[in-house]
Structure 1
Amino acid sequence: MLLERGVSAFSTWEKELHKIVFDPRYLLLNPEERKQIFEQFIKARIKEEYKEKKNKLLQAKEEFRKLLEESKLTPRSTFQEFAEKYGRDHRFRLVQKRKDQEHFFNQFINILKKRDKENRIRLRKIR
């Protein structure tokens, strides 16, 4: 009932009471149980919303990483070049904060630089 009525997980009993007071299911509970069940719902809903938000961020990061891999970047690529070329891609916009986009880009470039350096060292040992 609380979910159906659009009760916010970050609200209070007093603010949300007007949404549920006229529902017949509300009257099935005694007055002590009503607030207790509301509080339990709020706690559970907060946990669910945080979990959903975390999963959404992980999904966005994964999609952004796939875009980075598909874009054939070099260790000398810059974020500005990348943003100009792929800024309209939906996977680029999934990560909403520019700071996070740059952070993920820089992590990826650092991995490329490390691989490049290891490859150069391997080539020197072969010669």
Structure 2
Amino acid sequence: MTNVARELLKKQFIELSRDHNAGFSVGLVDDANFFEWNVCFEGPKNTLYEGGIYNATLSFPTDFPNHPPQMKFTQDMWHPNGVDIYNEQEKSEERWRPIWSVEGILVSVISMLNEPNLESPANVDAA
């Protein structure tokens, strides 16, 4: 499965690197490893995060897309959903699905920055 995951991640990385997506950019932690990505998010307009640049690492399992990646912001984030995007306590409709693309994951992070999910907070103090 590792080769399948690597080729899928390589393809998606190349596509995302080529496109100038509004709100984020991607890079590799190590040019030889498609399982570890650096992501840079722009703070969405009209939010508490506007004007900020938020860096994160995205670590993919060797059986991706069967299991979700882990994402961690490299600086503290004051956000209700800031601890873990796809955690076990989430409602079933919020859980990982193998059909999701990396772009879909990153767009969902931007969506959470725009509109936090207060009904499923990972950081109760920020909710």
TM-score normalised to the size of structure 1?
0.20
Query: Which structure has the larger Rg over C-alpha atoms?
Result: 1
Greater helix share, structure number: 1
